[in-house]
Structure 1
Amino acid sequence: MIDTLINVAFCVSSLVTVLMLLLPSQYDPRHSTKSTRPKTSVQILVLGDIGRSPRMQYHALSIARNGGQVVIIGYTESDPHPDLISHPNVTIVPIRPHPAILQTSNKLLFTLYGPLKVLFQVVCLWRCLAYTTPPSRWLLVQNPPSIPTLAVASLSCFLRQTRLVIDWHNFGYSILALKLGPNHPLVKVSLWYEKIFCKSAFAHFCVTDAMRSVLKQDFQLQAPILPLHDRPASHFSPIQDADERIKFLASLPETKEICSKPIRLRVLVSSTSWTPDEDFSVLIEALLQYSKLATSNTDLPEILAIITGKGPQKEMYMQKIATLEAAGKLKKVTIRTAWLSVADYAKLLASASLGVSLHTSSSGVDLPMKVVDMFGAGLPVVGWNRFEAWPELVTEGVNGMGFGSADELAEQLAKLFGDDKKLEALRVGAQKESTRRWDDEWNPIAGKLLGLN
């Protein structure tokens, strides 16, 4: 009996010793000398493609440029911002992508594969946050996705004595509801999960004042909630010279053929992630209606619609567009897709006639960053406006216009492209909006919290 107890005690003590040895190291500012110590150290976690997460890249650049040390963790499916790659204060740590077999749009398979995908992500995230990267003073987490990000980040921060800050772009449960429906049990579990784990954060950023109200009232958060509105980065800027705009459009492989024709043309740009929260069929239907109007009304110009971005529903919509073109239903309308570098995308926005946002907002309190980029380039916008936070971004009739259906969008396209004065008035308003920049918003809010100003 005594021998058995001794063996059990030995096993338990050995297990405890192993666990103690495997615990991640804690943050300690004394580990660096004053001469080498940065103003602060920040990990930024993006459970998504870093290159397609502009707001988190802007966070990283602002921290680095103000003397902080940044480790940004995420998928590396596309090229990040060039300044992020070249900055000596920035380190990019890639997350291993989950197996392709676990990605599905089928509801039944999603409920089966989902737990396996989450388990794979838990292992990869824990390895990155607890062992691959050194401990930092702060961990800034993009939300959504919230599962499993918030749980893993909360545990890592607890063990490493790191302060957790959540940057709310939207709500994870509302995104999940688009796929499964608002009454699905997994959506309710996701909401509960999000409300529980977000309470471990030291502070919160959010993209709108309306979102702050939801976090305060519905999530009952006690930590500071700081609205940090999206603003354009410095590489987005208006192009005042009309000839320079035409020259750039003529240089792009996707647009040079039609831009070289002697026709009256308006260039429409829409950036989309080709996901269910952006109903691209609204734009297609509006362009079909415009085609009919322009065919009978010679005062209306031709439209070149350039669609940028990558996403799961792209091929489905491209097949639909090809079918409509083959049937001759898109007369005086040409649709092209493009995937551009950061610099060329900024120039495209500055060279276009009008931007279109199809973002419908799963929560009603988030905002499309693509509109911010368009304003940064001095490009007026028409966008889906049937959600609460829209007026925080667009001033109706000054720098843009809202719509709630394909009919309304077609009507606005005909109105603006048929009257140069109305379009130019919106451009003036958008160029005025372009003076409001990311650093002006970030420094007194995020910079102050992180001790960088």
Structure 2
Amino acid sequence: MIETIISIAFYISTAITLLICMLPSQYGTTTKDKPIAKDDSPSKTNAQILVLGDIGRSPRMQYHALSIARGGGQVDIIGYHESELHPDISSHPRISIVALPPHPAYLQTSHKLLFLLFAPLKVLFQVACLWTALAYRTKPAKWLLVQNPPSIPSLAIASAVCFLRQTFLVIDWHNFGYTILTLKLGDGHPLVRISKWYERRFCRSATAHLCVTSAMASVLRKDFRLQAPVLPLHDRPASHLRPIADTNIRREFLAALPEAQSVRPLILSGNIRVLVSSTSWTADEDFSLLIDALCRYSELSKTSKPVLPPILAIITGKGPQKEMYVNQIAELERAGRLENATIRTAWLSTPDYAQLLASASLGVSLHTSSSGVDLPMKVVDMFGAGLPVVGWNRFEAWPELVTEGLNGKGFGSSEQLVEQLVELFGDPSKLETLRTGALEESNRRWDDEWNPVAGKLLGLYPA
């Protein structure tokens, strides 16, 4: 009997010892001295940035990393490394990339029933990868800045790791995860209700919260009942997004694009308007609005309004619905419904995308906002390049970004979008008025917004 008790005690003590040894190291025990950057200079602080998505398609999180690094901090960006990063990210000595392994191909599906079946397996895979990256592949940091959404499983894993490593958790709210899930499954689905509970429960572990609009901050304080500081941090363009004043430079860049070869003479002569839209090709952006508007514009230019100039629409981005829309566009072209409108898709490098925005005539945003309180980053980028914008405006936070008639216009239907294209492209003076407002907006920069809010929170800039 005594031998049995001794054996049990031995196994229990061994298991506890192994568990203790496997716990991740804590901030403040292994980092008593100031953290050291790659360039061997002491850092003011160190931070981890978690992006449960493609880092290259998360400009706001890349801007966070650059701001922390430029302020003297050391940064690890944890996420999927699938597309090209901001060039300053790749070259900065204070920024490191910790790449997460991609999901197995068999777990990727757009089928509703298969999505429900594969979702738990996908979450389990992500949990293992996230835990390993946050707890073992990286050194303990003072701050962990998490992009939300996605919420599952990042918020729970981040909360647990921050508790074990004595790290301060900061959530950067771009939207609400459960409202995006509603688009796919419907408002009454059990998974939507579980997601809503999960998001509200685990966000309470954060030391502070950043969010993209004042309207979102209000929801977090009132509906989520958060006690921690909630700080609105509006998106602003980064330094690489700048207007181009020289008309010839703009035309030469556009004419050199492979997507513009069929209309190159019209570009060089200034007899075509270039419309730009960036999309993730997902359900929260109804791209058919733009297609229908361009079909109607083309029809009007051949009948009642022959003075309307032709349009080249360049659509950038990647996403699950891209192929469906590309096929739809091809069918419309064969049917002759886009004779005065050319639609091309593209995936550009960061510098080329910035130059495209600065060279185009008008930007279009189709972001519909699942929550009503988020804002499209693409509009911020367009303003940074001095590009006026027309966009879907049927959500609460739209006026926080666009001043109607000054730097852009809002629409709520395909018909209204057609009216705006006809008005702006039919009367150059009206488009020029919006461009003047967009150029004024381009003076508002990311650092001016970030330093007194996030920079102050992280201790990089004085109060």
Which SS does the other structure have where 1:73 is aligned?
A: strand
State the partner residue of 1:276: 283
Counterpart CA distance in 2 for 1:340 and 1:263 is 23
State the partner residue of 1:355: 363
Cα offsets for 1:81-135 (capped at 9, x unmatched): 0100000000001000111211111111111100000000000000000000000
Q: Deviation of residue 259 (structure 1)?
A: 2.3
Which SS does the other structure have where 1:340 is aligned?
A: coil
Contact 1:273 1:310 in 2 (8 A): yes
Amino acid at match of 2:281: W
1:306 paired with 2:314, answer: yes
Counterpart CA distance in 1 for 2:276 and 2:436 is 18
Which SS does the other structure have where 2:32 is aligned?
A: helix
Pairs within 5 Å for 1:2-17: 2-17=2-17
Counterpart CA distance in 1 for 2:63 and 2:138 is 21
State the partner residue of 1:129: 134
Contact 2:35 2:43 in 1 (8 A): no
Which SS does the other structure have where 1:287 is aligned?
A: helix
Residue from 243, 251, 257 that aligns with 1:252: 257
Contact 2:35 2:74 in 1 (8 A): no
Which SS does the other structure have where 2:242 is aligned?
A: coil
- Structure 1 segments of 4 or more deviating over 3 A? 31-37
- 259-268 or 329-338: bigger deviation: 259-268
- 334-343 or 35-44: bigger deviation: 35-44
Which SS does the other structure have where 1:43 is aligned?
A: strand
Counterpart CA distance in 2 for 1:67 and 1:165 is 19
1:400 paired with 2:408, answer: yes
State the partner residue of 1:378: 386
Counterpart CA distance in 2 for 1:134 and 1:36 is 17
State the partner residue of 1:71: 76
Q: Deviation of residue 257 (structure 1)?
A: 3.2
Amino acid at match of 1:25: S
Pairs within 5 Å for 1:32-431: 32=34, 36-261=41-266, 264-296=271-303, 297-431=305-439
Q: Deviation of residue 31 (structure 1)?
A: 4.0
Gaps of 5+ in 1: none
Contact 2:290 2:414 in 1 (8 A): yes
Residue from 29, 32, 46 that aligns with 1:30: 32
Q: Deviation of residue 32 (structure 1)?
A: 4.3
Going from structure 1 to structure 2, the CA distance change for 1:33 and 1:330 (only over 3 Å counts) comes to closer
In the superposition, the TM-score normalised over structure 1's length comes to 0.99
Counterpart CA distance in 1 for 2:289 and 2:9 is 68
Q: Deviation of residue 11 (structure 1)?
A: 1.0
Contact 2:276 2:357 in 1 (8 A): yes
Q: Deviation of residue 263 (structure 1)?
A: 7.2
State the partner residue of 1:19: 19
Aligned length: 453
Q: Deviation of residue 9 (structure 1)?
A: 0.9
- 195-204 or 241-250: bigger deviation: 241-250
Gaps of 5+ in 2: none
Counterpart CA distance in 2 for 1:36 and 1:381 is 43
Q: Deviation of residue 264 (structure 1)?
A: 2.0
Contact 1:250 1:257 in 2 (8 A): no
